[in-house]
Structure 1
Amino acid sequence: MSLLFLVRHGQASFNAEDYDQLSARGMEQARQLGLYWVGLKLNFDFVYVGPRRRHRQTLDAVGAAYREHGLNLPEAVVLPELDEHFGYDVLTRSLPGLMKSNPAIREMKEKLHKDSDTLQRDYLRLFQKVTRLWVRGELDLSDLEAWHEFRDRVQRGLAKLTEAAGSKKKVAAFTSGGPVAAAMGFALNLDDEKTLELSWMVRNAAYAEFLFSRGRFSPVTFNALPHLTDPHLLTFI
């Protein structure tokens, strides 16, 4: 059996012009993950990283912690299949029409204020409401990758990295919350909505572990955060 550690990126830059980069808190979350793994003397045979900057920055912070202790990670292979789903695009493109046709969504959108103390919570509620409609097929966005296509894409990526690893190997992969949930959904045979709901639960810099071999892909842990003992570092977005 081999073991896969699937890591969600550290906190990105919510409410900034460029979301796709780690915040200072996100960098520290990733650094703490690296230090924790170093303490466990955890050596990897293969490392994969998704295509986004936040994925790479999380990997780089973990790698820096390894180098501080005279250790190195294997050279990372970029795996495009580990990219996040198109939920943000779904929200921004469908929101104008939904505000006209859906009173509940209009009310939720009108509550969003950039400087509000509840901005993250209110945004997440709106995001969840709209993406649930998308997953149910109630939004006409045929030019975007559909939810089931996203899940298929992640499964193809998992097949690539597990087949390349062989037996008795340790693999780390750095990605986003959606692919982590998709992997867990695949392992547990969850339906589309349950997998979507699971994606909302994945914390920043948390990891899931999966045992795998030919014909087997089994979950061991989900949303693991033993490296983040400071409550200030526990975040969702």
Structure 2
Amino acid sequence: MGAIYLVRHGQASFGAADYDVLSETGHRQARLAGRELARRGVRPTEARCGTLSRQRATAVTALAECGPGVVAKEDPRWNEYDHVDIAAHHGGGVAQDSADPRAYQDALEAALRAWIDAGDRGPAAETWPAFVARVRDAFEELAASVGKGAQAVVFTSGGVISTICGLLLGTPETGLLTLNRVAVNAGITKLVTGRSGTTLLSFNEHGHFDGEAADLLSYR
């Protein structure tokens, strides 16, 4: 069987003017994720990432540890949903507030539920069905290309990873609303592919943030 590792990007700049920039903590998290993959013996035969800055930077930093010389192919289908646009249309325009991230998370989750419920009729630039379709397309294309013994690594975002897990376990809605809230920065999700399809083996592994690295564990 082949293996696909989905790695969430490192911590971005929550509450800053430009969220889509890895923080110093985010760079350290990405480096540890790469080292963890290397420790497991992962030698990616191919790598992919979205086009967002935080995803690309995570890919470069992690691959330097586990796949020197491997360059992640950029594909916008691996990009996260647009949380600003969704909040504007379904959440009353709530903005990130570094002083109260819990309140923002609650408001965003409510907006995501409304986004899902609106379906194709939603006012956001990208509706929930359109998001699911592009994520599914990117994932299925990759899964079909991963042969026996091959290892692929994707650097993407929590919403994308949670939606894929939902597709594999039952429904993408359940995945996004249930799993996304507990996704850690630079967490690792492992899938295996074979003749019987794709199977989720683990979600959101973050043992690389145990012990001395415990201070690097973050969710937002």
Report the TM-score when normalising by structure 2: 0.89
For 1:146, the equivalent position in structure 2 comes to 127
- 1:89 corresponds to 2:85: yes
Aligned counterpart for 1:135 among listed residues 81, 95, 116: 116
- Decide whether the 8 Å contact of 1:132 with 1:193 is kept in 2: no
d(CA) in 2 for partners of 1:29, 1:21 = 14
d(CA) in 1 for partners of 2:140, 2:193 = 10
For 1:100, the equivalent position in structure 2 comes to none
d(CA) in 1 for partners of 2:53, 2:207 = 25
**Aligned AA for 1:76?**
A
**Aligned AA for 1:28?**
R
**Aligned AA for 1:233?**
L
Does the residue aligned with 2:43 lie in a helix, a strand or coil?
coil
Aligned counterpart for 2:159 among listed residues 146, 169, 178: 178
For 1:213, the equivalent position in structure 2 comes to 194
For 2:179, the equivalent position in structure 1 comes to 198
For 1:103, the equivalent position in structure 2 comes to none
Report the TM-score when normalising by structure 1: 0.83
> RMSD across aligned C-alpha pairs, in angstroms?
2.3
- Decide whether the 8 Å contact of 1:94 with 1:139 is kept in 2: no
- Decide whether the 8 Å contact of 2:14 with 2:96 is kept in 1: no
d(CA) in 2 for partners of 1:236, 1:23 = 13
d(CA) in 2 for partners of 1:222, 1:115 = 27
Identity %: 27
For 1:232, the equivalent position in structure 2 comes to 215
d(CA) in 2 for partners of 1:63, 1:95 = 36
- Decide whether the 8 Å contact of 2:167 with 2:175 is kept in 1: no
For 1:50, the equivalent position in structure 2 comes to 50
For 1:40, the equivalent position in structure 2 comes to 40
Instruction: Call closer, same or farther: CA 1:139–1:16 in 2, change over 3 Å.
Output: farther
- 1:79 corresponds to 2:62: no
* Deviation of the 1:114 alpha carbon: 4.6
For 1:17, the equivalent position in structure 2 comes to 17
For 2:139, the equivalent position in structure 1 comes to 158
Q: Deviations over 1:96-127 (max 9, x none)?
A: 48xxxxxxxxxxx6xx89563xx111111111
Instruction: Call closer, same or farther: CA 1:202–1:214 in 2, change over 3 Å.
Output: same
Does the residue aligned with 2:14 lie in a helix, a strand or coil?
coil
Report the structure number with the largest CA radius of gyration. Answer: 1
Does the residue aligned with 2:138 lie in a helix, a strand or coil?
helix
List alignment gaps of at least 5 residues for structure 1. 98-108
